[in-house]
Amino acid sequence: MSQIQLDSELPKESIKASRNIHLKKFKEDCKRFIQTQKIGFISLLIILLVFTVAVFAPFIAPFDPISQDRTAFLAAPNSQHVMGTDDLGRDVFSRLIFGSQISLLVGIVTVVISIVLGTLIGMISGYFGGVIDLVIQRIMDAIMSIPALILALFIAALLGPAIQNVIIALVIIEIPRFARIVRGEMMRIRESNYVEASRSVGAGSFRIIMRHGLPNMMAPIIVMASLAFGQTIIAEASLSFLGIGTPPPNPSWGLMLSDASRYMESAPWIVLFPGLALCILVLAFNLFGDALRDFLDPKMS
């Protein structure tokens, strides 16, 4: 075998060995997380269960979520309708399952967009500082000075009731939170020795930010994202409850609670089940976020 062939095979072996090391470390971290964060692991299982239900909703739901059974208005839970029906004869169980799609869709899209934009803004603000940081932070302060729900109500009411408008309103609220976290981390990282060493060998700002800044702030971003999921789900439900979120007849959990509020005494099941689902999912995200924060914190290990 020639020297050229040996040189071409060495990088492949090196990449394969590196992948095996990272895979082994990932498996060890997962095992340690299960052992040390049992409540967080149970919360993760609940979140994965809800995701699975949302993905396979058309196969799990026994009825069309918007179809009406005119012979079963406000029917109590029975063998046909396991969670009863609402005031229009719609199956509560089916609407609950399809409602998980809306909650998770809003949560995922909002958090992903907020992470991308908030991280970009925070890294620029924290790394360059000066006038750029001053202008960006004053804008962030102005947004955060308004109570989140009031700002979301204003934006959603201005744009009109629609899922995409709810996402826009929530993204505007979440961006400053991610930007603040990332800015603080970037200010700490830019003063570190390895960044100074990179500058000394001629590394540019973009390379430093992407090579040293972003990888070293992933832990707080992941924790913040897990907590933001629960916040966005609650916010979407609040906007839908107030009538300016997800428009009917979409089976949003907040909209289900809004419609059911008139029948709390005569038909409590149409309030109980969507409210319970909302509480369990948000609690699972919050507990998972807390467990993830403790797990990734070197002081707690």
DSSP state letters, 169-218: HHHHHHHHHHHHHHHHHHHHHHTSHHHHHHHHTT--HHHHIIIIITGGGH
- pLDDT higher than 60, residue 160: yes
| pLDDT tens figures, 78-126 | 888 889 888 888 888 999 999 898 888 988 999 999 999 999 999 888 8
What pTM value is reported for the model? 0.83
pLDDT score for 114: 92
How far is the C-alpha of 79 from the C-alpha of 151, rounded, in Å? 44
Cis upstream peptide for 249 (omega within 30°): yes
Residue 192: DSSP 8-state: S
Q: Which fold has domain 9-296?
A: MetI-like fold (1.10.3720)
pLDDT score for 96: 92
Residue 247: DSSP 8-state: P
| pLDDT tens figures, 126-150 | 888 888 889 998 998 888 888 888 8
Q: Choose between 193 and 268: higher pLDDT.
A: 268
Strand partners, 32: none
pLDDT score for 12: 59
Rounded mean pLDDT, 246-268: 84
| pLDDT tens figures, 174-229 | 999 999 988 888 888 877 777 777 777 776 777 777 777 777 788 888 888 888 88
- pLDDT higher than 90, residue 24: no
Q: 123, 179 in Cβ contact below 8 A? A: no
Residue 85: DSSP 8-state: B
pLDDT score for 1: 46
pLDDT score for 242: 81
Contacts of 245 (CB under 8 A, 6+ apart): 156, 161, 166, 236, 237, 238, 239, 252, 254, 255
pLDDT score for 10: 45
pLDDT score for 6: 44
Please report, for the chain, the start and end positions of each structural domain, with discontinuous segments joined by +: 9-296
| pLDDT tens figures, 10-21 | 455 665 666 666
Radius of gyration of the chain from its Cα atoms, rounded to whole angstroms: 24
> What pLDDT band is residue 46 in, cutting at 50, 70 and 90?
very high
